[in-house]
Amino acid sequence: MIKIICTFVPCLIFASCLSFDNTWCKPLSPSELNTHSERYKDQAVTVRGYVILNPDGHVLYESQTLHDDFSRGVDTGGNFDANKYEKYCLTIGNPDLLYRNRSKFAKKTIVIRGKFVTDYLDAQHIDLGACPLPTAVIIDEGYLKQRYHLP
């Protein structure tokens, strides 16, 4: 009986992820969200990214490698085209919990859940720590606390 349950429950969970709304199951990348922003607009999503928490930035980057490439390009100047990196950057709209737990999250690749918004930056809202695109994820703090065992 236990063997049947242990086999059935994972199959049930997997099947639920295959349903019409699987944005909670498969982590998306910042570039997937930014490239298809209208598809995910105002939806709950799971996103995986490399966390940057600086005084001048609170973002999820596609990967550490892409972030390092971007940083090297900025540092060297010259013919560097920063615009080709825009889609790899996603602003964290409510980074306070991450900042309070900086040692656990800064410069780490994590998975978060939250609401994807396409109008984070607009005429009324300016955020000097945001990515160039107007998109952002508003973190579900309850999920973050549970997943990463925060008080």
pLDDT in tens, 8-45: 444 444 444 544 444 556 899 999 999 999 999 999 99
**Domain for residue 129, yes or no?**
yes
Split into its structural domains, the chain has a count of: 1
**Under DSSP, is residue 101 helix (H, G, I), strand (E, B) or coil?**
coil
**Under DSSP, is residue 113 helix (H, G, I), strand (E, B) or coil?**
strand
Structural domain that includes position 133: 21-147
Separation between Cα atoms, residue 92 and residue 138, nearest integer Å: 6
**Which CATH number do you get for residue 135?**
2.40.50
Residue 104, φ and ψ in degrees, nearest 5: -85, -25
50-65: average pLDDT: 95
Sorting pLDDT into bands at 50, 70 and 90, what band is 2?
low
Q: DSSP E strands: which ranges in the chain?
A: 44-54, 57-61, 89-92, 109-117, 136-139
**Domain for residue 110, yes or no?**
yes
Higher-confidence position of 146 and 3: 146
Decide if 59 contacts 131 (C-beta within 8 A): yes
pLDDT in tens, 109-131: 999 999 999 999 887 778 889 99
